[in-house]
Structure formats: structure tokens, C-alpha cells
Chain A
Amino acid sequence: SYELTQPPSVSVSPGQTARITCSGDVLPKQYASWYQQKPGQAPVLVIYKDNERPSGIPERFSGASSGTTVTLTISGVQAEDEADYYCHSGNNRDTWVFGGGTKLTVL
């Protein structure tokens, strides 16, 4: 089991909005970040500090935090957004944890 819990899969049609959640007891106390991973590639940071977007990441990617849940939202989903998405945060023991990952399918 994972200290950060994500749904295994989310499916949306192109142009719709995808929301991926990540839940964990550490989240009210620690920042979360989100990574996109395509097959055979290393993860890419898409959101940090709950809702900040790195340069070069499209504006359709956004993040939000509420209590023990953080949410990655992809507005106007495109075919190229199909990937696995992982949340990440620190835990109370000075180490790092990842969620189990969510496979985003663009129908």
C-alpha cells in the first residue's frame, strides 16, 4: 500500500477536464508535486508546491490542495496528455513518498 493514494485510472474524452486526486495524512503539512510519465521515459515535473507550474508546462495543467487531498486538473485534455501521473510529497520521517500512480486514458 502507499502512503499517498491515487485512483488507478481516469478516462476522459479530448477537450474535457481530467481530475486526478491524491490523498494522504501528510498533505496538510507538506507540499505536493505531480509528475507526468510516458512509456519508456523518466517522469517530468508538471506541478510543484501544490499549485505552481514549472516553466514550459502548458497552462491547462493546474493543481489545488484541500485538507488531506491534492488534485491535479488538466483542462481541455489533449491526446498527448495520455500518460501515468504520480503525486509526491515528504513524510514525517524526513523522506519522500510517491503515490501509486494514475493512468490517464484519452478516449
Chain B
Amino acid sequence: QVQLQQSGPGLVKPSQTLSLTCAISGDSVSSKSGTWNWIRQSPSRGLEWLGRTYYRSEWYMDYAVSVKSRVIVNADTSKNQFSLQLNSVTPEDTAVYFCARLDATGSEAFDVWGPGTLVAVSP
């Protein structure tokens, strides 16, 4: 059974960097069938996909246009986890952040989700 466990601070100051980590159990971040994603949810923006990383003989990353200049999604194979870095945050980045696996060779959907982390951007 695949599980995702999130960690990271719940409060970030404006202009600083939001950093979250998602630890994977029951699967590998290097899996050839999964992609590893960050999604956020806020009342004003709904569910918003932010970016992903995946391994297909080499590492790939893709990002949403809305955050592309500020976001990095990285994998750490030694710890079997992946991370989100969002730079230069503003109060508009206040949201619940989820990590999620997308099964790229089966359902082609987000079949496993982390529990979510509420991150507030405030002085």
C-alpha cells in the first residue's frame, strides 16, 4: 500500500521560500510508472497543480505556468522522497499543499495523496 507523508513548516514570511517534503512508502520515487506531484488548494484558486518530477532513464520536471519562475520540485533517491520549493511567496500562496502520485501507466490519475499541509504566508 503506497503512502505519502508530508512535512514542513505551516508558516512562512512574505518574500521567503516555502519548502515541503513528501516521503514515499510502498513505492519508489524512481519508479518508471509514477510521477510525483505537488498540488495546492485555496478558496480563491481551487485545486491547482504546481509541478512534478519523474524518472524515465533520466529525471524530468514540469511546472505550471503560473508558478514556473518560482518553483522547483526535486527528488531525493537516498531518502525516497521529493520536495517542493516555492520562492518569493506572498499571501496569495497561502493554501493547503498536497503531494500526490500520478499512476502514468495505469489509471493516469492521482491515485495516492498525502494528507495535506496548511501553509500560511504571513509576517
Contact = CB atoms under 8 A, between A and B. Distances in A.
A and B associate in one complex: yes
Interface of A: 2, 31, 33, 35, 42-45, 48-49, 52, 54, 86, 88, 93-101
27 contacts: A2-B46, A31-B108, A31-B109, A33-B107, A33-B108, A33-B109, A35-B110, A42-B98, A43-B98, A43-B110, A43-B113, A44-B113, A45-B109, A45-B110, A48-B107, A48-B111, A49-B107, A86-B46, A88-B110, A94-B62, A95-B49, A95-B63, A95-B64, A96-B49, A98-B47, A98-B49, A100-B46
Contacts of A96: 37, 49, 102
Contacts of B116: 42
A33 B98 CA distance: 17
Contact of B62 (A48, A95, A98): A95
Contacts of B48: 98
B98 A49 contact: no
Contact of A52 (B37, B47, B65, B107): B107
Contacts of B91: none
B46 A42 contact: no
B91 to A, nearest CB: 21
